Structure 1
Amino acid sequence: MKTILHVFVLLAFSSSFIFADNFTEIREISLKKDEQKKILVKYADKEKLFNFRWTLYKNGGLVIFRSYDKIVAQNVLYLRERNQSFRVELKSRGADFYNVPYMLVRFKEFKEASKEAVFEILLSDDKKQIKLEDLKKG
């Protein structure tokens, strides 16, 4: 019985490592209302622009406007477990891509005093083909 329990505990803890995403890059940024963040996504001979901003924080929900490769979307993010982040696939699914590189933008906290939203930007890129470059304001 003890052996079965040990095996079960070992499998339970090791599964979190097996199924965990390996992020190749993690960034943290703070944005004020309507402040736009622009990131240039580079791979192969292509450059695509990702930008996002937040416009409203009400009842714990943060309204986000974002665009990547001329595709525009809107999300409402919350600090609780669900709807805390959004995912952007950075390359189209090709014949040799089972794990498409993606960027995960996670709403981490809202600073009431400074009215700033804090985000984590996580890059998942198993083949290390993607480069992210922050674009300067202005």
Structure 2
Amino acid sequence: MTTLLPGNIVYAGPITCTETHAYKSLGHFILEKYKSFGTQTVMIDAVTGQEYTAKYMYDSVVRMAHVLQHLGVKPGDVVGLSSENNVRFAITLFASFAVNATVAPLNVTYSEREVHHAINLSKPKVMFASNLTVDLIAKVA
């Protein structure tokens, strides 16, 4: 039974889930899942129809995680990401999770003022931009 407590706190009773996970982080979980799916298709580009296997994604995420570490990204750092929804976005996102970084996604439709505001708020250690947004990001950053 769900009840609303004073202060707008929703209480639904005790948590009865006893399932535990050995994953250290969301990034670790994603990488383990990719490993388990092997050569199965896990992503399809809606524009090109290009299919990506779990092995390709695993290898790409691990390589990108090494790039992030080489750039000095450490757990808790913020990675800025301004890109359309595509495989490169997913690889960078999951690689950021793999190094326990926080991701600050910037909508590709943001105006210059909005990008400036978002960057000032999130203070990313590194910033990734797609061809669509790189000029605006470079101008503001």
Bucket of the pairwise TM-score, normalised by the shorter protein: under 0.3
TM-score under structure 1 length normalisation: 0.26
Question: More helix by proportion, 1 or 2?
Answer: 2
TM-score under structure 2 length normalisation: 0.25
